[in-house]
Structure 1
């Protein structure tokens, strides 16, 4: 995969440090990319449903990998090997969060993400993990609902975290009720992508609207997590990015 354009990082809301970490790596893909599900059949099945646990790093990364795979045909005209796919910024940011320890339990009350046998655990107590939930599960469900994956939304089961279950949504109908604006914007993006008349600038605009909307609710809803990881610098940088590019 070629070096990704800078606007992908802008959309992902990544720090310059994250870009440097990936650029210096001999592997341009996020950590454990090859160990993550590449297709829905790689997930466990139960009663005809695909079971996805977004509180396991590789399961959540798998949703991104599937989105990249299923949308590749729509970006083929913009560059080879899916390198111009606008969605690359999302798994790269998530991989950076994992690699830097931001998905682990910051309270130290559990081993989630902190011990070798719990290294793939994504902590519900992590502000970063909670915000990213709305940048992974929501886009994935919207893509399924838009027909990108070719299956019914009823065939997807998203597992809840071990606590604070009411702070998240788990299927298309629940998420449509919980964050209707965000679901609509992601659905608009995927539906526009499938139009023959779609162009790169249009895709960029639709994606920015969806990405920004995904941050609106969780950044306010998870205010109780704000003391962890000194995320204030992230919010300052994100605000500056929004002010500059909007």
Structure 2
């Protein structure tokens, strides 16, 4: 069994190896890896239009949704200054960078016409309300953002109203009140993350540096992420939301694989997330594509596709035992977290060294 696990695990560690490097990137290098149009949106919530004492956010507009991510990162950066230079230590980067990657690879387009999608670096557009990826990502950002408002982490003078596109309206929620009523557990999980940040104190009297624990913050971020993703997966796994069966299967595999990352409380800072997403497939998958032989994909993408399929399948054939062991190992104490990851990774790599 260990030999069977060795190659996929080696690929897993390789994908994250750059993220484990301690040297911070320069500001110039970071800018190249931001989500598309990152520098064109503000991290200030007051930039959104106000109408009838309500802040209006067009949640189906790429830039508006991107600005929601930037506001959350801007407002939480001070809690992670001690983790990475140039604001790279923020544990929310995994969410923002994944959003940008999904947009750039055309996964927010109408699945019935996804072949017509061409990423235009000069013209940001709308997210299709018919996209499964768009629907799942909706809950990720909305639960986070509205929880930050509800917990008073974001000081918002007006009510937040998200603009509906009309189609499939019942599948979503568009205000704190609606989301709280429909998805209380997901809202609670996200609120817990922001309440934790609020409970931390300035380190050494410096109001711009807080004593937030990277492990605790990362665990709570992943917990909130899983709660939101579970909502999306329950709604958007039907084939009608995707351009192909292969793309639908990849979506489910990828999000289930993220449960493995969550259960290890894997670091979600800028560098780790950027390195991980290097292998994210550059376009939606077409039916009949063979990831091992398809020349459209680079080696890193083929490794990524193999890995995200392997881990969920391993968990499935072990009847959930694999992820359960990881969770019971890493979520107790810091010591067990560190020793568990070290021992398992060492055991899985031993056959490669033989």
Q: TM-score range by the shorter chain?
A: 0.7 to 0.9
User: What secondary structure, in the 3-state scheme, does the structure 1 residue paired with 2:89 have?
Assistant: coil
State the partner residue of 1:20.
Answer: none
Pairing 1:103–2:118 present: no
Aligned to 1:221: 235
Q: Of 44, 52, 57, which aligns to 1:39?
A: 44
Alpha-carbon contact 1:37-1:43 (below 8 Å) kept: no
Alignment match, 1:146: 151
Post-superposition offset of 1:237: 3.4
Where does residue 181 of structure 2 map in the other structure?
177
Q: CA RMSD in A?
A: 2.7
Please, which runs of 5 or more residues in structure 2 have no aligned partner?
Answer: 1-14, 20-28, 202-211, 265-326, 328-354
TM-score, length-normalised on structure 2? 0.58
Which structure has the larger Rg?
2
Q: Report how many aligned residue pairs link the two structures.
A: 224
CA distance in structure 1 between the aligned counterparts of 2:34 and 2:82, rounded to whole angstroms: 22
CA distance in 2, matches of 1:227, 1:150: 38
Secondary structure of the 2:55 match is strand
Distance 1:142 1:77 in 2: 25
Residue 233 of structure 1 aligns with which residue? 250
CA contact (8 A) 2:59 2:163 kept: yes
If asked which structure has higher relative contact order (CA below 8 Å, sep 6+), I would say 2
**In the superposition, relative to structure 1, how do residues 130 and 118 fare at CA in structure 2: closer, same or farther (>3 Å)?**
farther
Q: Are 1:89 and 2:103 matched, yes or no? A: no
Change (3 A) 1:100 1:206: same
- For residues 160 and 65 of structure 2, the distance between their equivalents in structure 1, rounded to whole angstroms, comes to 13
Contact kept in structure 1, 2:61 and 2:127, CA below 8 Å? yes
Q: Secondary structure of the residue that 2:56 maps to in structure 1? A: strand
